[in-house]
Amino acid sequence: MEQRISLITLGVSDVARARAFYEALGWRGQEVEETVFFQAGGLALVLWGREKLARDCGLGDRGEAGFGGIALAYNVRSAAEVDDLLATAERVGGTVTKPAVTNSLGFYSGVFVDPDGHPWEVAHNPGFALAEDGSITIPDFSDL
């Protein structure tokens, strides 16, 4: 297996509502057959009906409430950007579940969930190099 991911699919209860939320945050996608595809660097973020996605995985759904086991993260270039994005997410239909704080590792982050409860950590972490194109590079921890 090569070390890469092709798609991240978020199960959603209302595709139109979910699309509107991500578009309000600035994302632009294409919809085909009740599925929305957002190109995100070399992979795609996909919105699809939660029941269909569970069935397609051969899994029973454990329900939407609470933590589902996976969190996405979005790194930004300043602490002010963290605050701005959390405020925007809240304004357009998300919920801030953890207000931004500086954590024990010294970086500043908070978490919002989208309208379907999928968590996004928004972080300003100077330790992870953020390229102009938005890609990140994990540092060599043996050098630290």
100 scored as a contact of a copy of itself (CB under 8 A) = no
Q: Which of 85, 86, 100, 124 binds a copy of itself (CB under 8 A)?
A: 85
The one among 82, 86, 118, 124 contacting a copy of itself by CB under 8 A: 118
Of 9, 22, 11, the residue nearest 49 (C-alpha): 11
b/e 28-39 (16+ beta carbons within 10 angstroms → b): ebeeeeebbbbe
Q: Residue 132 interacts with a copy of itself (CB under 8 A)?
A: no
Site for a copy of itself in 48-67 (CB under 8 A): 50, 53-54, 56-67
- Binder of a copy of itself out of 19, 73, 83, 107 (CB under 8 A): 73
Asked if 106 touches a copy of itself (CB under 8 A), the answer is no
Contact between 126 and 144 (Cβ < 8 Å): no
Phi, psi (deg, nearest 5) at residue 67: -85, 130
102 binding a copy of itself? (CB under 8 A): no
- Do 40 and 6 meet the contact criterion of CB atoms below 8 Å apart? no
Interaction between residue 143 and a copy of itself (CB under 8 A): no
Q: State yes or no: residue 91 binds a copy of itself (CB under 8 A).
A: no
Taking the CA atoms of residue 38, residue 40, residue 49 and residue 1 in that order, the dihedral angle to the nearest 10 degrees is 140
CB of 19 to a copy of itself, least distance (A): 13
> How many whole angstroms separate alpha carbon 123 and alpha carbon 73?
7
Q: Which of 78, 80, 126, 134 binds a copy of itself (CB under 8 A)?
A: 134
- What letter would DSSP give residue 20? H
Q: Is 79 in the site for a copy of itself (CB under 8 A)?
A: no
